[in-house]
Amino acid sequence: MTLTIAEVFKKINEARFNGDRVFILRKHDSSALRGLLKMNYDRSLVLSLPPGVPPFKKKKVPVGFGDTTLLTSAKTWYVFSKELSPTLTQAKREFLFITLLEALDPEEAEILLQAKDRKLKLNLTAKVINEAFPDLIKNYIIDETENSININEVEFNSTPMSANGQETQKRGRGRPKKS
C-alpha cells in the first residue's frame, strides 16, 4: 500500500532513531519525496516562485482525495525553476503553481507550500537524508539539530582506562615496535 507524503512525513516525525528514519525514507522512496526533501534542504535548488502563500482556493476534500496528489504531480515540478524551464514566463509559472495547489487536498498543499519556503518541520537532517539517498542534498542548510549528538553516530575511544579515569598502558606481545 502506497502512503501519501503526509503519512510518510508523520511516520518520520514519530521515528525515534535515525536508522528508523533512513528505513522509512528508503521504503517510501518516490520522486515526490525526493523532490520535497531537495526543495526544503538543498540551497542549490532555487525556485522562481515568490515567498509566502499565493491566493488560491483550498479544496474541502479528505486527505488523498484531491484531483491530484504530490506523488502524481512531482514530474511537473521542474517548471517552478527558472533554470529548468527558461522559456516559461513568470506569470505562467505562478499560474501553474496556484493551479497545482488548488488541485491538491489541503494537507498536501500545505506541505508543498512549506517545502517551497524551506519551512518543513521534519525530524530529519541532511546527513540522514544523504544516508538514505546518497548525494541528494549537496548544498544543505545547517540546522541546529545537525549539531546534536546521536548515540548511534558517536565513536567511542577504545583506549583502556583505569578506575581513576587515566589511560592504562597496553601490554603487547612480542618485540616492542621500533621508534
SS (H, E, C) 44-62: CCCCCCCCCCCCCCCCCCC
Domain coordinates of the chain in residue numbers?
A: 5-140
Over the stretch 113-166, which tens digit does the pLDDT of each residue have? 999 999 998 989 889 999 999 988 887 655 444 444 333 343 334 444 444 555
| The three three-digit cell numbers of residue 72, written as one number | 502524481
Residues 168/161, Cβ–Cβ less than 8 Å? yes
- Residue 119: the pLDDT is 93
| The three three-digit cell numbers of residue 79, written as one number | 517548471
- Residue 172: the pLDDT is 54
- Residue 179: the pLDDT is 63
- Residue 135: the pLDDT is 85
Over the stretch 21-57, which tens digit does the pLDDT of each residue have? 999 999 999 999 999 999 999 888 888 999 999 988 8
- Residue 60: the pLDDT is 82
Query: What is the distance between the alpha carbons of residues 105 and 42, in angstroms, rounded to a whole number?
Result: 25
Q: Return the ∠ at Cα 153 (arms to 6 and 126), rounded to 5°.
A: 40
Over the stretch 86-106, which tens digit does the pLDDT of each residue have? 999 999 999 999 999 999 989
Tell me how far CA of residue 15 lies from CA of 5, 41, 76, 122, in angstroms.
15, 19, 30, 11
